[in-house]
Amino acid sequence: SQQGEEDPQALSIQEGENATMNCSYKTSINNLQWYRQNSGRGLVHLILIRSNEREKHSGRLRVTLDTSKKSSSLLITASRAADTASYFCAPGGYNKLIFGAGTRLAVHP
């Protein structure tokens, strides 16, 4: 299956702290995408990392990809209350994107 599995399932931190979420997958991929879902809303694309990239930055987001371990991580630095959301990884191969259950992040003021 191309499905990503996020870990941990839930994460609770204070504002200003860093949040790290992990994703593991089982098949070969062309890229891996991360999405955010605020409560009751649709998913929003955050960042895409290609299989030949090891690290990518976008603002306070840092994504790493280790294709040998079939894993990725999403780091949110200096978190804010507005970062409270669910985060999903989506490994991208030749089939459709399949989303895991996500990591629920709560950032407390």
Residues contributing to the site for another protein (CB under 8 A): 2, 29-31, 33, 35, 40-45, 48, 88, 90-102
Minimum gap (Å) between residue 102 Cβ and another protein = 6
Cβ-based nearer residue to another protein, 74 or 100: 100
Token pair belonging to 15: 């504002």
Backbone angles phi, psi at 105, to 5 degrees: -105, 130
Sign of CA dihedral 24, 25, 30, 31: negative
Minimum gap (Å) between residue 86 Cβ and another protein = 9
Cβ-based nearer residue to another protein, 74 or 91: 91
Token pair belonging to 40: 């009751």
Cβ-based nearer residue to another protein, 13 or 48: 48
